[in-house]
Amino acid sequence: MSKTSTHGKHGDFAIEAKGLVKRFKSGKAFIEVLKGVDFDARHGDLTMVMGPSGSGKSTLIAALSGLLRPEEGRVDTLDVDDLWKLSSGKIDKFRLDHCGFIFQGFNLFPALTALQQVEVVLKFQGLSKGDAKRQATATLKEVGLGNRLGQRPSALSGGEKQRVAIARCLAKNPQILFADEPTSALDGENGQIVIRLLRRAATEHGAAVICVTHDPRLEEWADRVIKIEDGVIIDDQRRTPNPDATLASH
């Protein structure tokens, strides 16, 4: 597996998964949460995965990103054939090098300033102190937090915290960006800022952005909407996104 910072061309596959099956033990029985799911996502696309609670969305993301081993199926991603055939150390390295994650709960370190939250990830990736600071500052400015660099999470609003989490993710310029309910804890205005940043990551950086959501209003920004129900993909539609759409307040 070669480490590369070059993104695939818009339209190239970033992920192709086939026949994913995931079961969990429930008492003496097993429940099948993914029932042979085929899934793909392309560079430059904001692909939205929608479905009711418990339909398997988060499990799918976890299986695609090397976080949760499926019982059956394969995931081909970037230059890796069959991600789940790699050692767990190589899977972790793949995730670190190429994937970004944004979750509902922000997952920020309470003791670190906004700038440090982003710097830490870049230093971990091997950037020098100076380069990490420059890149972290630039990305925080890009998400509109240039004046909040020195604040810790306790001094930031929910929307600002989510933007720090996005800056942390974007700063490493991931080829694949997984977002799980990124706007659900936010009001309309902040939700709009966040979905626009995800849209830009796809359009301007060529990332394959995969966004799990309950919120049908986010469809406006999507290139593709995939619906999953009870562990089965029931619908898959391409559409033309409207990057200037507005998200009304809840």
Ligand X SMILES: Nc1ncnc2c1ncn2[C@@H]1O[C@H](COP(=O)(O)OP(=O)(O)OP(=O)(O)O)[C@@H](O)[C@H]1O
Residues lying near ligand X in the complex (CB under 6 A): 24, 33, 51, 53-59
| Shorter beta-carbon distance to ligand X: residue 57 or 163 | 57
| Shorter beta-carbon distance to ligand X: residue 79 or 235 | 235
Q: How many CB atoms lie within 10 A of CB 36?
A: 14
- Smallest separation, CB 55 to ligand X (Å): 4
Produce one character per residue of 60-92: b if its CB has 16 or more CB atoms within 10 Å, e if not. Answer: bbbbbbbbbebeebbbbbbebeebbebeeeebe
- Smallest separation, CB 203 to ligand X (Å): 26
| Shorter beta-carbon distance to ligand X: residue 21 or 149 | 21
| Shorter beta-carbon distance to ligand X: residue 99 or 118 | 99
Residue 46's contacts (CB-CB under 8 Å, 6 or more residues apart) are: 198, 199, 202, 209, 211, 221, 222, 223, 224, 241
- Rg of the chain's alpha carbons, rounded to an integer? 18
- Smallest separation, CB 2 to ligand X (Å): 32
- Smallest separation, CB 101 to ligand X (Å): 14
